[in-house]
Amino acid sequence: MKYEDEKGNELAPSEKLSGKLDAPYETTAKNIAGWTVKTTPNNAQGTFTDKEQTVTYVYEKADGASVTVKYEDDKGNELAPSEKRSGKLDAPYETTAKNIAGWTVKTTPNNAQGVFTDKEQTVTYVYEKADGASVTVKYEDDKGNELAPNEKLSGKLDAPYETTAKNIVGWTVKTTPSNAQGTFTDKEQTVTYVYEKANGAAVTVKYEDEKGNELAPSKKLSGKLDTPYETTAKNIAGWKLVAAPSNAEGKFTAKEQTVVYVYKKASDKNKPSVPKKPDKQGDKKAKPTKKTPKKNYKNTPKNQKNDPEKIHLPSTGDVWMDSAIYILAGLSALIAGAVLIRRRKHV
């Protein structure tokens, strides 16, 4: 039998009991000054066996006053249930901070470790909020393209955060995220503002004559900034387009635009022209005909009608025949000259 403190230190000499196999044995604790039995062993009574047995009475010091351990924020609010430590007089105590989700120790108390006394003691751990994970704010179009640099917000866990959309030229907010406002958590968060192109200024399409008179009602086109527009001319009875405007196609901008289609009166059907006779000489130009001398009609009475036999204007056919005669005469002269030259050479 052994008599020890809780650290295994011997408080009184050990004792040995002997007896026959299966014979009963019984032990009792010793009275040791300044100590009380802490644990009565399970085998304080039993029977002898073929193996040695040890019966150990464990003693402890007299009780000291309790030590209370508290876990609070810097405003004195309890973050976790307080704990009471008890121990024997002069026995050491040791406390440690608790892991509390979302909090970190701000101040470790000086009496975190000590000894039990005859007076109660309080050990207080003071906590502050742990840093929350960052909140990233993004500004994108509906295709995920970045329109402005991201921003990162930081703060303590459970502290509130608030975000706002940025003013981006040419864009308007299409979707405000549901987490535009919230609190910092232990996980990273992303707040994404989705933008779409702002509305462009109207494009007015007009249909006018060359004097600016309206020929058909104008129409207005609308669309997002930088998106393309396309216009076409109208078919207007009795009018034909002079020219398509240079801005018939383009893009919506921040300023209003006007596309003007200008028309002119469609001309009458062309009268059939008299076909010209082909020139037998191909590309050769016909010699000009002699001008017909003008007749003097000064003495002709005003009421006298022109005699068709006296006045004869050459017709197109006559001019053509005269030209042909001149050409044939010229060719004949050239041929005759050439023949004479050859004869003289032979002579």
Q: Is residue 328 situated within a structural domain?
A: no
Distance (Å, whole) CA 19 – CA 48: 6
> Domain containing 10 — which CATH number?
3.10.20.320
As a whole number, mean pLDDT of residues 246-272 equals 88
Give 240's strand partners: 264
Say if CB 259 and CB 232 are below 8 A apart: no
pLDDT tens readout for residues 267-306: 865 444 444 444 444 444 444 444 444 444 444 444 444 4
34 and 8 assigned to the same domain: yes
From the number of C-beta atoms within 10 Å of its C-beta (0-12, 13-18, 19+), residue 64 rates as buried
- The pLDDT value recorded for residue 79 is 97
179 and 206 assigned to the same domain: no
- The pLDDT value recorded for residue 39 is 86
pLDDT tens readout for residues 121-170: 999 999 999 999 999 999 999 999 999 999 999 999 999 999 999 999 99
Say if CB 93 and CB 83 are below 8 A apart: no
Q: Which of 129, 144, 173 is the last residue of a domain?
A: 129
Q: Is residue 69 situated within a structural domain?
A: yes
136 and 124 assigned to the same domain: no
191 and 139 assigned to the same domain: yes
C-alpha triplet 59, 63, 65: angle, nearest 5°: 155
- Domain with 36, as residue range(s), is 2-61
Q: pTM score, two decimals?
A: 0.47
How much is the mean pLDDT over the chain? 84
Give 129's strand partners: 103
Distance (Å, whole) CA 140 – CA 144: 5
Which residue in this structure is represented by tokens 């030229």?
Answer: 169
Structure tokens at 66: 């309790």
Q: What radius of gyration do the chain's Cα atoms show?
A: 61
- Residue 343 confidence (pLDDT) above 50: yes
Distance (Å, whole) CA 247 – CA 257: 9
- Residue 113 confidence (pLDDT) above 60: yes
Instruction: Place 311 in a pLDDT band, splitting at 50, 70 and 90.
Output: very low
- The pLDDT value recorded for residue 326 is 59
Q: Is residue 79 situated within a structural domain?
A: yes
Q: Is residue 322 situated within a structural domain?
A: no
**DSSP 8-state class, residue 105:** E
186 and 210 assigned to the same domain: no
- Residue 237 confidence (pLDDT) above 70: yes
Which is more confident, 276 or 217?
Answer: 217
At residue 323, what are phi and psi to the nearest 5 degrees? -65, -40
- Residue 313 confidence (pLDDT) above 80: no
Q: Which residues contact 58 (CB under 8 A, 6 or more apart)?
A: 4, 5, 6, 37, 38, 39, 41
At residue 338, what are phi and psi to the nearest 5 degrees? -65, -40
**DSSP 8-state class, residue 88:** B
- The pLDDT value recorded for residue 88 is 82
Q: Is residue 277 situated within a structural domain?
A: no
As a whole number, mean pLDDT of residues 259-265 equals 97
187 and 159 assigned to the same domain: yes
- Residue 61 confidence (pLDDT) above 90: no
146 and 173 assigned to the same domain: yes
Give 87's strand partners: none
- The pLDDT value recorded for residue 34 is 67
Quote the number of domains for the chain: 4
- The pLDDT value recorded for residue 11 is 94
Which range among 58-67, 135-144, 304-313 shows the weakest confidence by mean pLDDT?
304-313
Which range among 91-105, 172-186, 281-295 shows the weakest confidence by mean pLDDT?
281-295
Give residue 169's Cα distance to chain centre.
15
Q: Which of 164, 197, 230 is the last residue of a domain?
A: 197
Q: Which of 45, 61, 77 is the last residue of a domain?
A: 61
123 and 136 assigned to the same domain: no
Element (H, E) at 62: none
Q: Is residue 191 situated within a structural domain?
A: yes
Q: Is residue 306 situated within a structural domain?
A: no
Q: Is residue 310 situated within a structural domain?
A: no
**DSSP 8-state class, residue 156:** B
